Chains A and B, each alone.
Chain A
Amino acid sequence: MCGETAVKPRFTHMPLEQYIYTGTVLKWLLGLAWLLPLVGFAIEIFGGAWGKRLDPVAGGRKLRLAGYLAVFCIGTGFLLSLTALVVWKGGTGVALMPTAEAVSHGDHAAPDGGEHGSDDHAVDHGEHAGHDGSGDKPQQATEGDARGQSPAAEAHGHGEADAHQEGGGHEAHANDPYAAAFSGTYYELARFGNLRLTIDYYIDGLTVLMFCMVTLIATCIHIFAIGYMSDELTEDYEDHFVHLSGGRHFHRPGRFYRFFAFMSLFCFSMLGLVIAGNIFQVFVFWELVGICSYLLIGFYVERHSASTAANKAFIMNRVGDFGFLIGLMILWTYFGTFQFANVSPAGSPDAANGPGLFQMVRDSRGDLQVEETADEQVVMLQGSGSADDTSSPRSIPYWLLVAAGVGIFGGCIGKSAQFPLQPWLPDAMEGPTPVSALVHSATMVAAGVYLAGRFYPMFTPEVLLVIAYVGCITLFIGATIAIVATDIKRVLAYSTISQLGYMMLALGVGGWAAGIYHLITHAFFKSLMFLCSGSVIHGCHHEQEMTRMGGLYKKMPITCGAMLVGVVAISGLAFWIPLAGLTGLSGFYSKDAIVASSLAFMAGNPNHFLLFLVPLVTAGITAFYMFRLWFMTFAGQPRDQHVYDHAHESPRVMTTPLIILSVFAVGCAWFGVLENWILTSEPAHVAAGLTSAYHVLLTMPSHHAIHAMHHTAGTAALIAAVTGALLSAVFYWKGLVDPESVRKPFAGVHHFLVEKWEFDNLYDVMFVRPVHVVASWCTAFDKYVLDGILHLLSRLTVATSAWDRKFDETVVDGLVNLLGNTTYGVGRSLQVVQTGRLRQYVMFIVVGVLGLFVLLIMFFPRA
């Protein structure tokens, strides 16, 4: 028992009326923010043609209406999201500002809002880990803080919480993610037996946070794009990257409105994915995000590289989605529902829908209930699928739960460009730069991490280990390739892959909040850097090679400053500021949290030491390649005088978003607000840590364990980052060492990295070539066998028809003609009788009558 005062629960379950009222308001606020971009899309795509009619004066240049409309839609969405934040905070009573004691405790790290553990707890945990190997069902280390999880047991939850307070809470709180959540149904599409296909919503702190983040960043990017895409405002756009025969370039009408239509659709899809209340709905919007990225990456569809990149992104995502589908099937078979969690308290409209996936798989304390049956381990499901079969407790085999988790994570691998499906992301740089900024910071790639975070309660420790290693491999691959990339956008692309790896690693090692934290901060500084690179590309007239830039700080000071903010943020550098202590930009805090999580994880599982060392080293590499980018672009002497002479700062419509995003990249992690916000939706079982002995022995670090590592990890990460930044300055700023001289001894490694770890070549050999070979077999079969049969058949048909024709012409036609001719001839011969002489006719009658009489008398003699 430590001397700290009782830490109150952050919030309690709210009364029923308040739940219904707040839930309804939130539902419609976020629903409107979600649907507005769809309205924008519809108007833009159908109204695109009207733009031409509207401006006969402007010399063939179209209006920017589509851009303004798109900005209006997403901007209004942002305002609605902010309103939703206020409503959510007011309705649930969540405190986002850290408490005073937390601030006093926090030295350099982001204050963590009352997540203090205690010595007791640590001991407790240790003992627990000790006796767990005896095969007991694992118990959570915490005690007395298991709060009612099911909303139906609201009163129970209150009681527990109160008792906990009286007992002088001494433990880290197991967060109750359902206390500040709202779930329900917008519309039921169909019902097949037990299967309900619905448009649901699940709104908790994470949802609101994602809404605010996505809409804010998307608004900035939309505004930027109005400037960046302005050269599409012409009737005759010359694409300098499409070479036709005769040395000419491809000409086409500008596609300004189409760009914004796709962007709006993209935002709609992403917001739908975030607000979705069931995994099936997530899948639908998941695919919509995929198709939007396809449309946007292939925006310059006439460029072969762009259309290929779009195909690559789409196909690689399909590979991941295959796993997703398998996961969905397993979940539906065993759970009978797709809903995440049903937190509606008894009495509210949606309460009757039964518990959701998370509530079924984990008990009120967030534990899996594993039981040994004769031949396998099964996870007992809480509650029941529906009201009518309460009698039989249901269960899912443990290995199938693992398979479902890995399957769903497979979808995240594709979307978030994780190893081994990462090569699509750099190629996707073929799209316009605002697309890269949107797709690769806040939306599409974030969707994978978001889903992994949202679906966290379904992941067993084995799945988490997979996630951690995938993330670890990905972050290293991405960072190493970024060192040698020279295309400014590709450096950013590989850094995105690397940072996404960090997020997955954090989720995998039990740092749930750290992963989501990095997702948010990364979204800000990466979108900032993409927009800066867009500004550079725009200012340098579509020059993307850093080897032809240099010294641009004089030409574009705002872009240069904004990029520096982003670079410092992503590198995780911090500065000693008097009074405030060690202060860093947003990336410092989130990366610090990740490294601390992985260090704590390594402390619990020494054989997984790579999961700490690799991210630590990569933190240094990150700083190195990001500063390399900045030095090569903005510092030093111009490398290409031509490019330098024509470079210019971008117009205000492009620099304003940079400044806004810079502000957030600097300060979004300050004061601990963001971390507290994220922690409100943390799954219940994360805070206390967990020891798993089912199949692999794993210890998930508790909040307390992570916190204890903060100093060490933060210092180590900071040292790595500073080292990387200094090295970069030595190479690329001061020029003390010529990079060429270092490259020469490592030519093989350099080539390996330039070739992107040979992934494209490997996939070429493994998949593309074999497919080509099989395809050529199929072609041959098609050509010689199928075509041969078809040709034979057609020849037979032709011969038969020729014979048939002959028959038709001679026999059938002959008969008909014969009949006709005969009739005609008879008619001709009878013509002679028709003399037209009346008296002759009378004679015929007389003769005829006489003849009749004669016949009568001859054949019918008097009876």
Chain B
Amino acid sequence: MEGVGINGYLGVGAVLFVCGVVCMATKRNGIGVLMGVELVLNGANVNFVAFSRFGHLGLDGQVAALFVIVMAAAEAAVALAIVLSFYNNHLTVDVDRADELRG
């Protein structure tokens, strides 16, 4: 049976990645930026799984995808804590206001 090939998966992954990057680059809301990050990570996950199925990675690709998911969860926890802390100090989650480390 003919299914979609690797190109289909890579295309979905690329779309997800680009959406995530665009989301990160355009959103001023901190939470939105986080969502963009999640999209980028999941775009990468799609690639891992696709290469696991069609390439030579084998099971490793899927294990890597699992690691990325776990890491994304941890990263989300930390990032949300930062956002909360930022909100406490500035009563906003606008990342453009977070420019205190500028040179």
Contact A836–B99 (Cβ < 8 Å): yes
A837/B96 in contact, CB under 8 A: yes
- Residue A54 lies at the interface, judged by CB distance under 8 Å to chain B: no
Residue of A nearest to B18 (CB): A846
B101: which of A836, A843, A846 is its contact (CB, 8 Å)? A836
User: B102 contacts A834, CB within 8 Å?
Assistant: yes
> Whole-angstrom distance between the alpha carbons of A830 and B102 in the complex?
11
Residue in contact with A834 in the complex, picked from B28, B98, B103, CB distance below 8 Å: B103
Within 8 Å of chain B (Cβ to Cβ): is A833? yes
Q: What's the least CB distance linking A699 to chain B, in Å? A: 120
Instruction: With CB as the reference atom, state the residue of chain A lying closest to B27.
Output: A839
Contact B25 A836 (CB under 8 A): no
Judge whether A836 and B24 touch: CB under 8 Å. no
- Whether A839 and B26, one on each chain, are in contact in the complex, defined by CB atoms closer than 8 angstroms, is yes
Partner pick for B102 among A836, A842, A843, CB 8 A cutoff: A836
How many Å lie between the Cα of A837 and that of B97 in the bound state?
8
Interface residues of B in 9-58 (CB under 8 A from A): 21, 24-28, 33
Q: Hey, which chain A residues are within 8 Å of B100, CB to CB?
A: 836
A5 within 8 A of B: no
A interface, how many residues as a size bin? 10 to 19
Q: Is B72 an interface residue (CB 8 A)?
A: no
B94 to chain A, nearest CB (A): 10
Q: What residue of chain B has the Cβ atom nearest to residue A849's Cβ?
A: B21
Does A835 touch B at the CB level, under 8 Å? yes
Whether the Cβ atoms of B103 and A846 lie closer than 8 Å is no
Chain B's interface size range is: 10 to 19
Residue B68 CB within 8 A of the other chain:
no
Residues A846 and B26 in contact in the complex (CB < 8 Å), given A836-B99, A836-B101: no
For the complex, give the distance between the alpha carbons of A839 and B28 in Å: 8
Q: How far is the CB of B82 from chain A (nearest CB, A)?
A: 11
* Distance A830 CA – B95 CA, assembled complex (angstroms): 22
Cα–Cα distance between A842 and B98 once the two chains are bound (Å): 14
CB distance from B95 to the nearest CB of A (A): 4
The CA-CA distance from A411 to B98 in the complex, in Å, is: 102
Alpha-carbon separation in the docked complex, A613 to B99 (Å): 125
Q: Does A838 reach chain B (CB closer than 8 Å)?
A: yes
Contact yes or no, A846 B21, CB < 8 A:
yes
Distance of A837 Cα from B95 Cα, bound (Å): 7
CA distance A836 to B28 in the complex (A): 13
The answer, among B25, B27, B99, B102, for a CB contact under 8 Å with A846, is B25
- Among A832, A835, A842, A843, which residue has the most Cβ atoms of chain B within 10 A? A842
Q: Considering the complex, give the chain A residue whose CB is closest to the CB of B33.
A: A838
Assuming A842-B24, A843-B25, is B103 touching A835 (CB within 8 A)?
A: yes
| A835 adjacent to B24 (CB under 8 Å) | no
Indicate which residue in B21, B96, B101 contacts A842 across the interface (CB closer than 8 Å): B21
In the assembly, what is the distance between CA of A838 and CA of B37, in Å? 13
Is A194 positioned at the interface, with any CB of B under 8 Å from its CB? no
| Nearest CB in chain B to that of A830: its residue | B103
Instruction: Say yes or no: is A831 at the interface (Cβ < 8 Å to chain B).
Output: yes
Q: How far is the CB of B8 from chain A (nearest CB, A)?
A: 21
Residues of chain A lying within 8 A (CB to CB) of residue B103: 830-836
Instruction: Report A792-848 residues with CB < 8 Å from chain B CB.
Output: 830-839, 842-843, 846
Q: List 11 A-B contacts (CB under 8 A).
A: A830-B103, A831-B103, A834-B102, A835-B102, A836-B102, A837-B95, A839-B25, A839-B28, A842-B21, A842-B24, A846-B21
Binding site for A on B (CB under 8 A): 21, 24-28, 33, 95-96, 98-103
